[in-house]
Structure 1
Amino acid sequence: MPSPLSADRPAAQPPGRGPVDTLISRARRLKGDVDAVRRGRPADGTDPEDRWERALYDLAVHQLDDVGRHLSQLRDGPPGAAGDPAPLAPPAPRRGSLLSRVGSAEWNLLTDEATWSAELYRILGRDPSSVPLTLDELPSLVHDEDRPTLTGMVTDCLIDARPIDGEFRVVHPDGAVRTVHMMGEPVLGADGSTASMWAVLRDVSELRRCRRAVSESRASLRPAPPAAEDRIATELREAVRPVWRGSLRIPRTGPGALEVAALSLPAAAAPRVGGDWYDALEL
């Protein structure tokens, strides 16, 4: 009797993991590789190009974190009726790779000079032939509501040497509003004071749009909590029915009186709305 194991007929292998699990493992390995390369980059802060590349590695690691979470949601399936539903994975952005919409800038505080990359002009809606804006002029491109946010981040960076990591909206000359994520750090001089500030700015408008779509989809798939249904039903019932003031007494001449009383009994099952209208009149 031939052996079940032979060179031309290998033994049956156990079922492999699903394709989404395979993608999750690949994303984790890629994140580990990118993080290892990032840690091997120089971090002395003297070369602007090295700082720019290091910031891009940081962004790549953050994006791979998002990819892993989205794939996990895809593996777990759409939100169901039981438990807290997980958000759906967002669709792929229409503008290509998110990392391709990245620009860099450096502001020299000693010479008051600014240096922008070509992509940053497009992100901020500026003419590439125009002069880069200084830190004092930069808020002029920002949405009125977000100017305090940008001012606070820049002030903390320049005065307290805090890294910048935040978002704000910019308004293009044609009226289009884009959401920009900004990461940056101060560059200290020999005396310890801030000599310049560099930053990497990324257009995250499509990413935020996708996340809003995910949030809206999640809200539409999540069943309304019973407590909310009861509250709405109670408010509607109280709005349409007369205020209960006890039994209705109709005075009449002579001994005795007519007493009328009624009680509203709502349905036991959701949405617990019920009752009747009553009229009482003396004949």
Structure 2
Amino acid sequence: MPSHLSADRPAAPPPGRGPVDALISQTRRLKGEVDAVRRDTPADTADPRERWRRALYDLALHQLDDLDGHLAQLRDDPLPVPGPAPAPHDALLSRVGSAEWDLLTDEVRWSGELYRILGRDPATAPLTLDELPSLVFEEDRPGLTAMVTDCLVDARPIDGEFRVVRPDGGVRTVHMMGEPVLGADGSTASMWAVLRDVSELRSCRRAVSETRDSLHRQRHAAARTEHRLAVELQEAVLPTWHGPLRLPQAGPGTLDLAATHLPPSAHARIGGDWYDALE
């Protein structure tokens, strides 16, 4: 079976362990610093702003975890073969799987990580491209079909997400990236793909979005309350409007007019222009 490295470009040599180990050390140091700041942010609070800050820290830590795991894969170069479920400390590495579909021989190869992402028994045969949509949410099937068709017919890269339902009923969000492998005659001989379980990442992003929306709603509610209080204060202080003042023809001896502008302050956020007239 042709490997995805046999496409019309040479394979890049793998990076040395030294530079990758240095990147892993930097990532883990940054992860520790972010986690230290995160621990100072309350987890259970009624303040929407604090909840939003906490969700952002959680998202950043999750992304750093992913980066740490991907760099470890790059350093260790594990073979993508089916195998038993990973040990707890290997759970992160199981979130990325690979697959290849040979269009000439109808052979399909899945890595062990992909079996675990989809919750399938490694002893069973991997699904063909025609069978793969059976795992996907009905709403997401047209998008997956379009990506695969564009890849096989027009040799376009695959880059998209869809939701799958595991046999145990669990739902996972999978990000799929892949390319066609061209044969000697220029036609598509096979298709390879890397599939990543991004369920936790999407969950963190939803938490950030929800807490941000909650913060915006609170700010809008506070602004409406402040405006209502300003209107009520204005109505309480200013006299009722009775129309223009009609002075006697002889007029008063003198008429004192006064006006001042009071800007909002840090303590009293209500300001305005004030006028008065006295004989």
TM-score interval (norm. to shorter): 0.5 to 0.7
- Residues of 1 paired with 2:137 and 2:4: CA distance? 34
Q: Kindly tell me: are residues 133 and 228 of structure 1, through their superposed partners in 2, closer, same or farther at Cα, counting changes over 3 Å?
A: farther
Shift of 1:223: 5.5
Shift of 1:141: 0.8
Amino acid across the alignment from 2:5: G
Q: Which residue of 2 aligns with 1:148?
A: 142
Answer yes or no: is the 8 Å Cα contact 2:94–2:116 preserved in 1: no
| Corresponding residue SS for 1:174 | coil
Amino acid across the alignment from 1:139: P
Residue correspondence of structure 1 range 83-232 to structure 2 within 5 A:
88-90=56-58, 92-93=61-62, 98-222=92-216, 224=218, 226=220
Amino acid across the alignment from 2:183: G
Shift of 1:220: 2.7
- Residues of 2 paired with 1:172 and 1:44: CA distance? 27
Shift of 1:108: 0.4
- Structural RMSD (CA): 4.5
| Corresponding residue SS for 2:5 | coil
Higher relative contact order (CA 8 A, sep 6+): 2
Amino acid across the alignment from 1:176: G
- Residues of 1 paired with 2:119 and 2:215: CA distance? 37
Answer yes or no: is the 8 Å Cα contact 1:103–1:119 preserved in 2: yes
> How many residues in Structure 1 have an aligned counterpart in Structure 2?
183
Answer yes or no: is the 8 Å Cα contact 2:151–2:157 preserved in 1: yes
Answer yes or no: is the 8 Å Cα contact 1:87–1:218 preserved in 2: no
Amino acid across the alignment from 1:105: A
Answer yes or no: is the 8 Å Cα contact 2:4–2:192 preserved in 1: no
Answer yes or no: is the 8 Å Cα contact 1:108–1:195 preserved in 2: yes
Looking at secondary structure, tell me which structure has more helix per residue.
2
Q: 5+ residue gaps in structure 2? A: 42-46, 66-87, 237-279
Cα deviation digits, residues 210-265 of structure 1 (max 9, x gap): 111122222233454559965x9xxxxxxxxxxxxxxxxxxxxxxxxxxxxxxxxx
When normalised by structure 1's length, the TM-score is 0.52
| Corresponding residue SS for 1:210 | helix
Say whether 1:46 aligns with 2:14.
Answer: no
Cα deviation digits, residues 138-182 of structure 1 (max 9, x gap): 001111111111101111111111111111000011211111111
Amino acid across the alignment from 1:125: G
Q: 5+ residue gaps in structure 1? A: 1-42, 233-265, 275-283
